[in-house]
Structure 1
Amino acid sequence: MAALPTMSARLIRCCMLSLGAGMWVVSAPAAQTDKPARHDAAVSADAATLSLEQYARLPVCTLSADGQHLAVQPCRTAPTRQPKARRAVTAIIPAMPPRPVPRVSVAPPLPPLSPPPPLHQTPRPTPITTCDAGGCYDAAGVRHTGAGGNTTISPSGQLCLRDGVWLQCQ
């Protein structure tokens, strides 16, 4: 089953037929006789040799009902469509608002900043009451085990440094 021709195929056929129509008339044996080759006897045979006025009087090319050939030959191409003139519209651009007058205002003075508290308080040194080879006792009677040199370890596991009669835990 043959496919129906598309619109672009029809347009190409129309152009080929309209361009080839002039050559067909010149090369046809009927063109050499007095008898016109086509049904339109009022127009000269070759569309290429027509004057501008004669070409303008030709009918506009249309396809026949079956869509396979031109309905009338010779014919002229359809005039190009002119786009409609666009109407002028004034651009409405709103005016910019005036700049506000800058206000001169003074912010109230800030209260003085207090120094931030330290991140962690270092404990105060505690006095040592007695020491032996295994460690020292502080003033509260808590035993600090000796860890070598002048370092000790408190019962809670903190590292403490001994400086003379003072014990500083970290």
Structure 2
Amino acid sequence: MSCPVALALERVGEWWSILILRDATHGLTRFEQFQKSLGISPNSLSRRLAALVEAGLLERRRYNERPPRDEYVLTAAGHAFRPVLIALYAWGNQHFPPDAVNVRLVDNESGVDVDPVLIDRLTGHPLDDAHTTFLPGPAADPRLRAVLARRRELAS
């Protein structure tokens, strides 16, 4: 599929991958740190880290020669995943709140909890149904064009 959502999920859509990116965003870099944080098996963690390196979201860096040890640091694409994590955080807190608050997202200057919302950079409008719609792009196939046309018909 050529859909941007499908292409993104091909790289990060697996449960462990998103949690590894979350932990990397929180500053974890070493195999043992990820394993301890996630409780993931070494084989699964090795596969997921390799896939994230191959996808260009993490970079493997050698920090010890004897024994050979690598750390995994976010690339520019990995850092750009942060707003996706924040959106998942906000959505999860709203629809599936934990029994007790275990992490907060706060403004660096005031220390006040923030309420994340996606907005358009140019207009400042929220990215909701009232302000945005999906339209087919130049490479859209007939099936996608029909789906999006049907969506517009239902909205009017």
Give the TM-score normalised by the residue count of structure 2.
Answer: 0.22
- Flag the structure with higher helix content: 2
Give the TM-score normalised by the residue count of structure 1.
Answer: 0.20
- Flag the structure with higher strand content: 1
